[in-house]
A and B are shown apart, each in its own frame.
Chain A
Amino acid sequence: MSKKVIGHLILCCIFVLAGCAAIRQEQPRNPSEPFEDEFIIVRASQWDTIPYLAEIFLHDRSKDWMIRECNGLEQSEPGQGLAIPMKPFAFGGLTAEGYQTVPILSYHKFSKDRSDKLTVTEAAFKAQMEYLRKNDYRVISAEQFIAFLDFKDQIPKKSVVITADDGWDSFYDIAFPILKEYGFPATLFIYTDFIGTNHAVSWEQLEIMSKQGLDIQCKSKSHRNLAVLKKNESPKAYREEVEKEISFPTQLIAEKLGKKCSLFAYPYGESNSFIAETLKKYGYRAGFTLTGGDNPFFVGNYMIHRYPIYGQHELEEFKNNLAVFREENLK
Chain B
Amino acid sequence: MKKTGESIFILCLAASLFSGCSSFRNFLDTSLIRTDVFLSERHQLKAREYEESGELQSALLHWKIARKLDPGNSEIERKITALKSAMEKESEQHFATGIAHFRNQAPDSARREFLAALRCNPNHKEAFDYLKNPPPPPPPEVKSDVSPKKKKDKDAKDKDASEKGASKEEKTDEVKPDKEAENIEKSLAQAKQLLAAGQYEKVLPIADKVLDHDYLNTEAEDLRNASYYAMGKKLEQKEDYLAAMKTFAKADPYYKDVREIIAGLKERLKKKAEVHYRQGVRHFINEELPLAIAEWEEALRLAPDHKRASQDLESARKMLEKMKARQQQD
Contacts and interface: CB of A to CB of B under 8 A. Distances in A.
A26 B29 CA distance: 10
A26 B33 contact: no
A179 to B, nearest CB: 22
Nearest to A270: B176
B175 A238 contact: yes
A146 to B, nearest CB: 13
Contacts of A238: 172, 175
Nearest to A222: B216
Contacts of A14: 11-12, 15
Interface string B21-58: 01101100110110010010001001000000111011
Contact of A108 (B36, B181, B215): B215
B81 interface: no
A118 B216 CA distance: 11
B33 A41 contact: yes
A239 B175 CA distance: 10
A228 B172 CA distance: 10
A77 to B, nearest CB: 12
B27 to A, nearest CB: 9
Nearest to A191: B216
Given A14-B11, A26-B22, A41 B65 contact: yes
Given A199-B254, A229-B177, A18 B54 contact: no
A230 B179 CA distance: 9
Interface stretch (B111-119, B194-202, B236-244, B283-291): B111-119
A92 interface: yes
Given A41-B65, A96-B55, A28 B178 contact: no
A92 B118 contact: yes
Contact of A330 (B43, B46, B119, B132): B119
Contacts of B61: 70, 89-90
A239 B64 CA distance: 54
Contact of A41 (B55, B68, B132): B68
A255 to B, nearest CB: 25
B177 A18 contact: no
Contacts of A7: 4, 7-8
Nearest to B90: A331
A223 interface: yes
A38 B57 CA distance: 14
Contacts of A300: 132
B194 to A, nearest CB: 21
A91 interface: yes
A43 interface: yes
Interface of A: 3-4, 7, 10-11, 14-15, 17-19, 21-22, 25-26, 28, 37-43, 70, 72, 81, 83, 89-92, 94-96, 99, 108, 114, 117-118, 151, 166, 198-199, 223, 225, 227-231, 235, 238-239, 268, 272-274, 277, 297-298, 300-301, 328-331
Given A11-B11, A227-B175, 4 more contacts: A28-B26, A198-B254, A273-B174, A274-B174
10 contacts: A7-B8, A22-B18, A38-B64, A43-B29, A43-B32, A225-B178, A230-B178, A272-B172, A273-B171, A274-B171
The 3 tightest CB contacts between A and B, nearest first, are A22-B22, A96-B54, A298-B131
